[in-house]
Amino acid sequence: MTDSASTGAARTRRYEDILVVTLDHPPVNALSAAVRRDLSAAIQSAQTDNQVRAILLVGAGRNFIAGADIREFGKPPQQPLLPDVCNQIEASAKPVVAALHGAALGGGLEIALAAHYRVALASAKLGLPEVNLGLLPGAGGTQRAPRLMGAAAAVDLMLSGKPLSAEAALNAGLVDTLATEDDPLDAGLAYTRQLLALNAGARRTRDATAALADRQAALAAVDAAAERVAATARGLFSPARIVEAVRAAIEQPFEEGLRTERALFLQCIDSPQRAALVHAFFAERDTAKIPELKEARARRLERVGIVGGGTMGAGIAVAVLDAGLPVVMVEQDDAALGRGRARVEQVYDLLVKKGRIDAGERAARLARFSGATRYDALGDADLIIEAVFEDMAVKQTVFAQLDRVAKPGAVLATNTSYLDVDRIAAATRGPADVLGLHFFSPANIMKLLEVVVGKDTAPDTVATGFELAKRLRKIPVRAGVCDGFIGNRILAVHRQAADMMMEDGASPYDIDAAVRAFGYPMGPYQMADLAGGDIGWATRKRRAATRDPALRYVQIPDRLCERGWFGQKTGRGFYLYPDGARQGTPDPEVLAIIDEERRRAGVTPRPYTQDDILRRYLAAMINEAANVLHQGIALRPSDVDVVFLSGYGFPRYRGGPTHYADSVGLDSVLADIRGFAEEDPAFWKPSPLLVQLAESGRNFASLNQAA
């Protein structure tokens, strides 16, 4: 080894006749302009250094290269561009070896594909996740990956956005060998020395032919992918361009394929979807920027108690067990506890059946689960989550018991969807220890967690809620106290807008179709049938005494519930579900009930176009989002977007309600609301914040920057 070394984002040191280029750009070795510049300079200088026979690329820290530098998103590109650096690596006259560990993602994997040889440590994760940001691999990835792993595997890698393990990458042909060493430098040097001993020269990926030798099969794979994208990636822009780029790898010479890839990449860059998906990416990162985390740290969090073993309690238990924490579940009697345990076991049985975990892992997780029928069993818990029936009196009774048995400093959380967290906290002597943790069903799958902060909730209690979300790998959003918090409060308003359209002439099936066409996986009436109509009915009855008499009340959903038509679980709701079907079919009897209700209400039905439906549905959503922000229930518009993207099916490629509103123009949204107010001024009241922003020429995004 020589002592000569360089510094910088890609530092060099020569080990005998191997030049090691270490990419060192904390925390994840993202491909910043400095990394690209220093890497390019190192490759160039090695070409004329007679003491260098081979070049080894390694990453410092935990990763090879985790992808693009997100700090450069939206800024003018700086030279050298990544495609040029990749081409320079591939053109090297001396063999270039990439030693992969940790993340080798996006542009990081494109660097590795441009290298001549690849060795992977067991920790390596290789992926091309650009589709998640509305992009495609734009530095040769769509041309090189198919040449190494075949068209079918390459297009799957890019369309899924999910990484491969080192072993899977070896089997796919993406890497040449697996290292036995634990250190990437040791592994890379050992492999490079083997290659030099064999007099292995530069081996360019662009020249690889074996994986695409069966041209007919490769084109058939691309055609199948195109059909799949058309069927499943409805409304998305970049997946179809990915398929086009892979087709170019089969049909065009390499240089021409690179030009095709670049043109398609630039189309993606210019797409509004790319801006929306990037917004969503940053919005999720920003939810943890809350005042409480600046002044407090989370409390100890090693043991969790759960009160209630119903669907929600069992789902929360699974989420906590999956995070490696022990859980004690309390139910009112042995029979209820047995049902709760059975629900937890059922989830794990299904995971074993699907091959997601093995029987040993199932046993290990269930070994952390225990149950009891007395509240005293919760005495050692650091955090207790109540997940009982959505009734204020019931929850207050539970919290009075928790106040009796919880140890000092334990955090008490309610999993309420709507109820006043401050009233629940008032049942205890320590409201500073109480917060809301609104999980979304199924709780072990859904990523969103609304952390509801009461007027007396202590900062370290809030920090503990966010720490739990981190352990559970959920996306936490801070919410203030009001009926429904962020998501369900806004949902109630745009569902009311839908109900009014239904009474005025649009069928529930027309409304669902319009909302699906916008990009939602299902419409509001399909969702109501899935959740259970009795849930909303109970909420409506609870609110009846405080309902504003000036607001129109549509009784159609109540008529269905009075007949016991609660949706999928009863075989019919707004739709029919014969023989336990998961997919509903329109019900003529529902349409007859709607007609009868129109006559009772004195409504003459009128036609609604898809555009009419969406303008009202989205305007109601956006207007109530503005009210939620105006009242401080949400800290920033992007938090509202995260709630709807992660918990309510809002299409990610549209960025969320406030990002979408900015894209169409707040003045346009406000004009719609004022127009609708001519028919119904009680419901269509423009939010003061929306008026203020629209009339001053500002947008919701300006509030994200200020938060």
Averages of pLDDT over each 10 residues, the chain, 707 residues: 66 96 93 95 96 97 91 83 97 98 97 98 97 95 98 97 97 96 96 97 96 96 95 89 98 98 96 93 95 95 97 96 97 96 96 94 96 97 95 95 96 95 96 97 94 98 98 98 95 96 97 96 95 86 85 95 94 94 94 97 96 98 98 98 96 97 98 97 97 97 83
pLDDT score at 707: 59
pLDDT score at 595: 97
Among residues 427, 398, 487, which one has the least CA distance to residue 451? 487
pLDDT score at 5: 61
Q: What is the DSSP string of 327-396?
A: EEEE-SSHHHHHHHHHHHHHHHHHHHHTTSS-HHHHHHHHHTEEEESSGGGGTT-SEEEE---S-HHHHH
Distance between CA atoms of 596 and 592, rounded to whole angstroms?
A: 6
Distance between CA atoms of 675 and 530, rounded to whole angstroms?
A: 33
Where on the phi/psi map is residue 164: left (φ > 0), alpha (ψ -120 to 50), or beta? Answer: beta
Catalytic residue annotation: 110, 130
Q: What is the pTM of this model?
A: 0.91
User: What is the four-CA torsion angle of 2, 7, 9, 15, rounded to 10 degrees?
Assistant: 0
Q: What is the DSSP string of 39-62?
A: HHHHHHHHHT-TT-SEEEEEESTT
pLDDT score at 706: 63
Burial 86-96 (b: 16+ CB within 10 A, else e): bbbbbebebbb
pLDDT score at 1: 46
pLDDT score at 243: 98
pLDDT score at 3: 46
| DSSP-H helix ranges across 198-237 | 215-232
Task: Give the C-alpha distances (Å, rounded to integers) separating 357 from 68, 327, 347, 443, 446.
Answer: 32, 19, 11, 18, 19
Among residues 511, 515, 522, 476, which one has the least CA distance to residue 634? 476
Among residues 594, 592, 648, which one has the least CA distance to residue 621? 648
pLDDT score at 480: 97
Task: Give the C-alpha distances (Å, rounded to integers) separating 597 from 111, 381, 462, 502.
Answer: 64, 52, 46, 10
Distance between CA atoms of 614 and 202, rounded to whole angstroms?
A: 57
- Exposed/middle/buried for 602, CB within 10 Å: 0-12, 13-18, 19+? exposed
Token reading at 677: 């107010």
pLDDT score at 676: 97
